[in-house]
Amino acid sequence: MSIAEAQALTLTQGVPPRHDWTREELRALFDLPLSELIFRAQSIHRENFDPAAVQISTLLSIKTGGCPEDCAYCPQSAQYDTGVRAEKLMPLDAVLREARAARDAGAGRFCMGAAWRSPKERDLDAVCAMVEGVKAMGLETCATLGMLTAAQARVLKAAGLDYYNHNLDSSPDYYGEIITTRTYEDRLDTLAHVRAAGINVCCGGIVGMGETREDRVGMLEALANLPAHPESVPINMLVRVPGTPLADVPPLDPIEFVRTIAVARIAMPRSVVRLSAGREEMSEETQALCFLAGANSIFYGPKLLTTSNPARDRDRALIDRLGLTPMKTEQLR
Ligand code: SF4
């Protein structure tokens, strides 16, 4: 595919987002010269967003460790010896204290993560109380609790949940190398329940897990061809945690990570693309390139569930140096 043909693929002004991306088209975007790819992604970004605005989320682990699933990247799986202890669900007042601190530090969205295969009914009641309390502080709410039934999604919606995170993780082809305890289809079912309940979808994946570029293409194809694009698309760089099966996977070239962000921006022009896990080990220059390539959200706060994230003052300094500003809720489309 020529650069001109690739340009035609990426014109989005006034055109509804596409859901019929082919692997060939996405592969061609990945193959563009980096300057061309970033130019395309940045142009699309500007058509759809304020280029200086960055959405800021804070993620809290409300129930850590002891998860029965076997996600090969995850230190919270009970199947791996990573030193993460299984804990009980946090009490409501402790969660609300953390949410207040996140809001006062500048977060616009508070995400609550629990290491469950799926929530039990009594756990769901407790999470609903957290959602109501966090929302009452003026924060957007997000939860990631594992697989949901249609009825559970409706209960969370009734409690006021704004976003539900459930990632596809990788391409359908590579997925079986990473997780065996739930299927790709299970994930798509949960996403459909969340969407049907009227909750915004947060769904992305992880790169650097030893997958090929074709798998990265396949992951973005699966995301971009969902019936509706996720409102938030977190793109994570694997954090290699000792004790997990992926502890010794060779690191991914940061430029390939930037390309993945750029292709996500082009394929899902109106989604907020979040530069998620892995920033702690990423240079500030790589992060700046990711923002240029169309990323417009970060997790803010020193911890991402159980792995570390850049300290708040380091992030504040980076945001200032790059001239970025926190995105207001009404700027989200
Ligand atoms: S990623 Fe989630 S579902 Fe998978 S092992 Fe970790 S906590 Fe469990």
Q: What is the pLDDT of residues 179-203, one digit of tens each?
A: 999 999 999 999 999 999 999 999 9
Question: Of the listed 40, 109, 142, 240, which one is catalytic?
Answer: 142
Which of 78-92, 234-248, 289-303 is predicted with the least confidence, judged by mean pLDDT? 289-303
Residue 288 alpha carbon to ligand 1 centre in Å: 29
What average pLDDT does range 165-177 have in this prediction?
97
Residue 286 alpha carbon to ligand 1 centre in Å: 27
**CA angle, 277 as apex, 250 and 199 as ends, to 5°?**
135
pLDDT confidence of 58, banded at 50, 70, 90?
confident
Query: Which class for 184: exposed (0-12), middle (13-18), buried (19 or more C-beta within 10 A)?
Result: middle
The ligand 1 site (C-beta within 6 Å) comprises: 67, 69, 71, 74, 76-77, 115, 146
Q: How far apart are CA 54 and CA 324, in angstroms?
A: 6
pLDDT for res 330: 43
Whose CA is closest to atom 4 on ligand 1? 71
Q: Which residue has the higher pLDDT, 167 or 316?
A: 167
What average pLDDT does range 286-309 have in this prediction?
80
Strands (E), 78-202: 109-114, 140-144, 163-165, 200-202
pLDDT confidence of 327, banded at 50, 70, 90?
confident
Write out pLDDT tens, residues 61-95: 999 999 999 999 999 999 999 989 899 999 999 99
Helix (H, G, I), strand (E, B) or coil at 332: coil
- Given a cut of 80, is residue 47 above it in pLDDT? yes
Write out pLDDT tens, residues 5-42: 555 555 555 567 899 999 999 999 999 999 999 999 99
Q: Beta strands 303-304 and 307-308: pairing type?
A: antiparallel
% of the chain residues with pLDDT over 90: 75
pLDDT confidence of 308, banded at 50, 70, 90?
low
Which of 26-40, 138-152, 297-311 is predicted with the least confidence, judged by mean pLDDT? 297-311
Whose CA is closest to atom 2 on ligand 1? 115
What average pLDDT does range 119-142 have in this prediction?
95
Mean of per-residue pLDDT scores for the chain: 90
pLDDT for res 331: 45
Residue 71 alpha carbon to ligand 1 centre in Å: 6
Question: Of the listed 40, 71, 109, 240, which one is catalytic?
Answer: 71
Residue indicated by tokens 């996977």: 249
Question: Token digits for 22?
Answer: 């082919």
Residues belonging to the chain: 333
pLDDT for res 301: 62
DSSP 8-class letter at 17? P
Which of 113-127, 144-158, 271-285 is predicted with the least confidence, judged by mean pLDDT? 271-285
pLDDT for res 332: 42
- Given a cut of 60, is residue 302 above it in pLDDT? no
Minimal CA–CA distance to 89: which of 118, 128, 123? Answer: 123
Q: How far apart are CA 195 and CA 305, in angstroms?
A: 25
Which of 61, 63, 74 is the best mutation target for the ligand 1 pocket, counting ligand atoms within 8 Å of the beta carbon and taking the most? Answer: 74
Which of 70, 77, 241 is the best mutation target for the ligand 1 pocket, counting ligand atoms within 8 Å of the beta carbon and taking the most? Answer: 77
pLDDT for res 333: 37
Handedness of CA 217, 218, 220, 224 (dihedral sign): positive
203 classed as catalytic: no
What average pLDDT does range 122-137 have in this prediction?
95
Which of 5-14, 167-176, 289-298 is predicted with the least confidence, judged by mean pLDDT? 5-14
How far is the CA of 187 from the CAs of 62, 179, 181, in angstroms? Answer: 21, 11, 11
67 classed as catalytic: yes
- Given a cut of 90, is residue 300 above it in pLDDT? no
Residue 333 alpha carbon to ligand 1 centre in Å: 29
Q: Which residue has the higher pLDDT, 117 or 14?
A: 117
Residue 321 alpha carbon to ligand 1 centre in Å: 35
- Given a cut of 80, is residue 304 above it in pLDDT? no
pLDDT for res 268: 97
Q: How far apart are CA 293 and CA 125, in angstroms?
A: 40
290 classed as catalytic: no
Which of 89-93, 276-280, 285-289 is predicted with the least confidence, judged by mean pLDDT? 276-280
**Residue 260 belongs to what H/E stretch?**
helix 254-267
